[in-house]
Structure 1
Amino acid sequence: MLFVTRSLPSPIWLNGLEALKVTGSKGKGSTSAMIAAILRQLGISTGLYTSPHLLKANERIRIGDRLISDGEMDASLEWMLALRDSYESRHSNDNFGAFEVLTGAALYHFFNQRPETIVCEAGIGGRYDSTRVIPGRITALTSVELEHTELLGNSAELIAYDKADLCPDGGTLVAGKLEDALLPRLRAYCALRSITFVEAAAEISELKYNSAMMQFKMSCAGIDYGTIETGLVGKHQARNAAVAIQAVWHWLQCSKREVEEQRFTRAVREAFKAVRWPGRFERIAEDPETIIDVGHTQLSLHAVAETVREMNSAKPIMLVTGVSYDKNVRGILDELLPIATEVICTRAYHKGSPVETVAALCEAIRRGIVWKSADTIEEAMDLAVSRAREQNMTVLVAGGLFLATEAFVHLSGGDPRLLQFF
């Protein structure tokens, strides 16, 4: 990736860039969107680079609220692919992965548009992630759990160290809620690299739900933000909000930008009220009420189940589920099944575990919970919608990113088989 940054037409913009980078096992995308929204409310031109996309690769790259256009994406990819070919022709034992190509294309687009800053979501970990080469002294760490252990390490401690390495020496790491046993070790690791460690602790109270919105009161680092309203629902999103707030606050200090406290708190409230992030406990239909969540780790699905309990709805839950074969299938189902009234087991076209495997695990966890099994996501959603209308249920599609996205596309009249996630 250093080859990419050194190949930009001019180094001036990149050398003067003070980006914010976000890593973590879950909550990276939502937190990145929150950070970018606060910066925009403060009048700061902001690029946003996230992953993965749901429907189209353009979703990954935006400035303000505007996605990169098809023409801009084509031009950026053309530049990056030519650069890749040049590099690989001289380094036969090394090659670019898809995420590195997209990161390079994003940097080229941002170089051409010159936003004041960019918010970058890491792909996996931090130590070897392609976003590490992007200059920026502020890094947010949303959460840590056992994931990608073959790449990041076989313990939460090793994974935390890998993710923390997204932050440069002498930078500031703003951390979300972590295990108590992990905190002193991570603090010590950061101290070895002269990294300022900030725990984004916050007092969150009076959390309540109203239609598709959530309200809560928050005070963080001695500042009272009053009542915050947001379409990103769940207590975990309130915790993500604290990380986003602290990351922006430290970025302002690092960038020597003077912002009055009253203006900052107002920007935070307006940003959270406006921010949307598709696929995160998103209500996509009303008849019947249908919610999708693209979470694909055990911790993410724990947060989904926690949110369902917090909402305290009297309506039974029709859970449509399936899990990718390369994920912790049993762990994810352990989180989801306690909140379900009935379950339809299915599979995504992309990386879906066999339906019979999912159904057998469901029955092993809660005998009698499986109402139906469906070989395709289309059949599963049609069954769920019909059953939910008949029994006045809420449909929850959860278990994986591909599953939730394919369900959304089918209900929108599209063909989920045509999706390209790469």
Structure 2
Amino acid sequence: MNFINAKDVISYLYSLPKLHPKGDLSYVKRALAALGNPQNKVKTIHVTGTNGKGSTSYYISNLLRKAGQKTGLFVSPYVFKFNERIQLNGKNISDSDLVKVANQVEKAVTKIKRDDPDFSLVTFEYETVMAFTFFAEQKCDYAVIEVGIGGEHDKTNVITPEVSVITTVGLDHEKIIGPTIQDIAHEKSGIIKSHRPVVGGNIPKTVLPIIEKKAAQEHAPLYLLGRNFIVSDDKRVVYKDKDKILSFISHPKVESYDIAVAVQVFSLLHLPLSNALIEQAVNQTKIPGRYQLLKKNPMIILDGAHNIQAVKNLLEFVHKQKKIRDGQVRVLITMMKDKDLEQVFSLFDKADRLLLTTISYPRAAKKADFPVAVQKKYPYEANWEKAFDELKDASEDNDILLVTGSFYLVSEILNMGEANASSGY
């Protein structure tokens, strides 16, 4: 097979299976070996966490770029277009490079299949191999690699990074890496490598010993938020460690944790960059679909929060804004039907006005997939565009309109061409 254009590549990737019968790394390692192990030709930062790993990856990437490093970034999901998944110096991979690297991977897979007809890559493995191949070809100084799910068994866990990062540990993907938060912590600790530093963010005390034990076993120096570095978020985000104090523009509380983790990671790399330029790099970072402000009056916020921890943090921020603005909170929400729907909907205030919707995506919840109590409590509009317009029209200048529950829904809203997105609160 030879890919002609980017559309061919993306269609093919989505046609591949999502999981192998066995969840090890043998398939992805075999494909990478056939391509000369490109993952070993670039310095990497490996980022996992139940929430915040995407934001943290963007912050680290921008800090590296500001320090003059040629920087790759591999993240998921995408918001505007697939090419966001693989970035070079803050720019999406071009369609021509996407086609080129996909053809290289396909050639390697075809060669393996001659000896082993049953060999195949699942979607995320194929994407991972493409990313490593591209970063090596571009001779990146660093590549920031966000895991897909988990850590130890994630298809990206084929690297020995300069720094490993665990942003948070909470409940999500319990059927794959759970079912308990302890199981999830064990899985995420699997990215910790021998004698390589690891940075931990807002990790619950209940599972911190699991992370500490793994770090000790691997002789990996552990740097923890609240222990080795701290952050406060009153009118500005203030970061402190033993060497410096930095001040950043105001961000939601949960974003301040991600900023602090990213700055600590960057500090461990010992790259020359003044405090002023560190602050500038963070302040200039734009993260699509995360606490994204579309409009100020009414305040329209887009965030792809899709698990208990993320929704709880988001609502804490939104309700804080409500007190300041003294307005009504309206929420447009859909979620994937395999998420913890009952627990998530229990987090909303009685006064919040929710409108359920859906999108054209196989895993997206339809009306019948929402818990019965949720169906009875909140109205449902299958047409998300109509639902968004309805809530927007009903909102006064001091109200808040929140779109959440899925990055896919956020992507639909942004791609609809709503007002230019900005940041800052």
TM norm structure 2: 0.84
**What displacement does 1:305 show?**
0.7
Decide which of 395, 400, 403 is 1:397's aligned counterpart. Answer: 403
**What displacement does 1:43 show?**
1.5
Which amino acid in 1 is paired with 2:259?
A
Taking the aligned partners of 1:307 and 1:139, their CA distance within structure 2 comes to 28
Decide which of 296, 301, 313 is 2:311's aligned counterpart. Answer: 301
Do 1:319 and 1:340's aligned partners in 2 also have CA atoms closer than 8 Å? no
Taking the aligned partners of 1:150 and 1:357, their CA distance within structure 2 comes to 18
Number of positions where the alignment pairs a residue of Structure 1 with one of Structure 2? 387
**What displacement does 1:340 show?**
5.3
Do 1:157 and 1:182's aligned partners in 2 also have CA atoms closer than 8 Å? yes
Q: Which residue of the partner structure matches residue 35 of structure 2?
A: 8
Which amino acid in 2 is paired with 1:393?
D
Taking the aligned partners of 1:88 and 1:331, their CA distance within structure 2 comes to 45
> Aligned pair in 2 of structure 1 residues 340, 141: CA closer, same or farther (>3 Å)?
farther
**What displacement does 1:61 show?**
1.0
* Matched position secondary structure for 2:401: strand
Decide which of 27, 43, 55 is 1:30's aligned counterpart. Answer: 55
Decide which of 370, 376, 381 is 2:383's aligned counterpart. Answer: 376
Are residues 1:204 and 2:243 paired?
A: no
Greater Cα offset, 87-96 or 216-225: 87-96
Are residues 1:314 and 2:321 paired?
A: no
* Matched position secondary structure for 2:140: coil
Which amino acid in 2 is paired with 1:376?
N
Taking the aligned partners of 1:88 and 1:149, their CA distance within structure 2 comes to 33
Which amino acid in 1 is paired with 2:295?
A
Do 1:20 and 1:251's aligned partners in 2 also have CA atoms closer than 8 Å? no
Taking the aligned partners of 1:285 and 1:216, their CA distance within structure 2 comes to 22
Q: Which residue of the partner structure matches residue 253 of structure 2?
A: 235
Are residues 1:192 and 2:217 paired?
A: yes
Q: Which residue of the partner structure matches residue 279 of structure 1?
A: 289
Q: Which residue of the partner structure matches residue 219 of structure 1?
A: 240
Greater Cα offset, 13-22 or 392-401: 13-22
Greater Cα offset, 350-359 or 113-122: 350-359
* Matched position secondary structure for 1:300: helix
**What displacement does 1:357 show?**
4.7
**What displacement does 1:79 show?**
1.2
Q: Deviations over 1:6-25 (max 9, x none)?
A: 2336x6x7545321110011
Do 2:185 and 2:210's aligned partners in 1 also have CA atoms closer than 8 Å? no
> Aligned pair in 2 of structure 1 residues 403, 277: CA closer, same or farther (>3 Å)?
same
**What displacement does 1:346 show?**
1.1
* Matched position secondary structure for 1:132: coil
Where does structure 2 lack aligned partners over 5 or more consecutive residues? 1-27, 420-425
Q: Which residue of the partner structure matches residue 387 of structure 1?
A: 394
Are residues 1:81 and 2:93 paired?
A: no
TM norm structure 1: 0.85
Do 1:200 and 1:220's aligned partners in 2 also have CA atoms closer than 8 Å? no
**What displacement does 1:338 show?**
1.4
Q: Deviations over 1:41-93 (max 9, x none)?
A: 11222111111112311001111122111101111111112222333443344
Taking the aligned partners of 1:393 and 1:101, their CA distance within structure 2 comes to 44
Q: Deviations over 1:262-308 (max 9, x none)?
A: x4422320111100010001112356432111121111111111211
Which amino acid in 2 is paired with 1:223?
K
Are residues 1:329 and 2:336 paired?
A: no
> Aligned pair in 2 of structure 1 residues 25, 90: CA closer, same or farther (>3 Å)?
farther
**Percent identity at matched positions?**
22
> Aligned pair in 2 of structure 1 residues 313, 91: CA closer, same or farther (>3 Å)?
farther
Taking the aligned partners of 1:400 and 1:40, their CA distance within structure 2 comes to 29
